[in-house]
Amino acid sequence: MLTERSPDGDRAPFVARIAGVGRSLPPTHLTTDALMATTRHHTHIDLERLTGIHERRVSVGDEDSLSLAVGAARDCLARSGRRPEEIDLVVSCSITKYRDGLVQWVEPPMSLEVARAIGATHATTFDVSNACAGTLTGVLIANNWVRRGAIRRALVVSGEYISRVGTNGARHVRTIMSRELASLTLGDAGGAVLVERAEDTDGGIDLVGFTTVADHSRLCLAYPARAHAGARMFTKARAIHQAAIADTPTLLREAMDAAGVHIDEIDHVIPHQTSARAIRTGMRETTAALGAAPRNPAVVTVDRYGNTASTTHVVALVEELDAGRLRAGDRVALVALASGLEIGVALFTVDEGLEACRAHHDRLGRRGLG
């Protein structure tokens, strides 16, 4: 596993912290019942019971990948009280790069458009593409640059207008064994994380680690649909779940050992949100393999937002922060699982500045702007 632990000697003398998070959600709710009513075939699938997903947010043409990314970036800056000119790096990490409806932009990079839209005039920019692990891959890179002192502040953003994959999947799903069933779990969201140099070491990022178990690289493939706008996605969900169950405990143990942290010292585990049942099974197996459990049950937001691809961790972080469940001193593990097969973990401690992002948002809310 490629791991970076902080602090780490002369070659990476600084510690990075999560200084802010922000998200952007389309206002339209789509329940699983309503989505399943659109399937072309009579599927007899109780998707809500299978996945625990009650509803997800979807763009009805009012949002696209760029607008969701920009919305999340602005929310993140407002919550953290940072000005866009203070940002040295903007990394965009989404799978979808739709602008102007369902037009996927390949060049120029999305990150440049986001940086310009929010006024991050001094930021350098590039895009990362790593399926649902994109945002944590961006955090890994940002953490590296901040730790070395190459930059002071990075904004990692993603906007996923990916529900169209579900619209396309609904035309083809016939049975519970369909390889497009996972398409129906997707929802739209934007997420942003501000990574900056910690001036003291009370909180901050302890470790980010990643590996790619490429023997399983072809278990989830997505590409443009032949006959419809948007993409189609083909997933061998059971095989992914089995590989994840087999590999994640080994990698988590490696990461925890590198960080010098025991699993029962972790307050909150935020896994990638695919289905409530998969999350609970995965946590049970991981706990059994590691011989200890984190202090709280795994965070589940997939019931409200579905699988929002590369933005799930940020959507959940904001949810937990706003609910007052993330307090200064709490240690959080973000666990990525994505097509590739990408497995990663980001371990960080909430500091007062991050906890205060919620308070700031409350003030915005009282003025009716939140």
Residue 117 beta carbon to another protein: minimum distance, rounded to whole angstroms: 10
- Answer yes or no whether residue 258 interacts with another protein by CB under 8 A: no
Question: Cβ(80)–Cβ(357) under 8 Å?
Answer: yes
Contact positions with another protein (CB under 8 A) in 86-105? 90, 95-96, 102-105
β-pairing verdict for 231-235 and 268-271: unpaired
In this chain, which of 82, 116, 174, 277 binds another protein, going by CB under 8 A? 116
H/E stretch holding 73 = helix 65-80
Residue 84 beta carbon to another protein: minimum distance, rounded to whole angstroms: 10
In this chain, which of 64, 127, 196, 206 binds another protein, going by CB under 8 A? 127
Beta-carbon-side half-sphere exposure of residue 57 (alpha carbons within 13 Å): 24
- Answer yes or no whether residue 124 interacts with another protein by CB under 8 A: yes
212 residue type, one letter: T
62 residue type, one letter: D
- Give the Cα separation of 168 and 342 in Å (integer): 25
- Cα 93 to the chain's mean position, in Å? 10
Considering only 31-39, 126-134, 265-273, 360-368, which stretch makes contact with another protein by CB under 8 A? Answer: 126-134
Contact positions with another protein (CB under 8 A) in 129-158? 129-134, 137, 141, 144-145, 147-148, 150
Contact positions with another protein (CB under 8 A) in 25-44? none
- Looking at the Cβ atoms of 289 and 328, the one nearer to another protein is 289
Following DSSP, what letter does each residue of 164-185 receive, concatenated?
A: HHHHHHTTT--STT-TTGGGGG
Considering only 153-161, 177-185, 211-219, 355-363, which stretch makes contact with another protein by CB under 8 A? Answer: 211-219
- Give the Cα separation of 179 and 305 in Å (integer): 21
β-pairing verdict for 189-197 and 16-24: antiparallel
Residue 4 beta carbon to another protein: minimum distance, rounded to whole angstroms: 5
- Answer yes or no whether residue 242 interacts with another protein by CB under 8 A: no
- Cα 285 to the chain's mean position, in Å? 22
In this chain, which of 16, 115, 155, 345 binds another protein, going by CB under 8 A? 115
- Give the Cα separation of 256 and 263 in Å (integer): 7
- Looking at the Cβ atoms of 90 and 326, the one nearer to another protein is 90
The residue count for binding another protein (CB under 8 A) is 76
Residue 271 beta carbon to another protein: minimum distance, rounded to whole angstroms: 18
Q: What is the CA radius of gyration of the chain?
A: 19
- Answer yes or no whether residue 213 interacts with another protein by CB under 8 A: yes
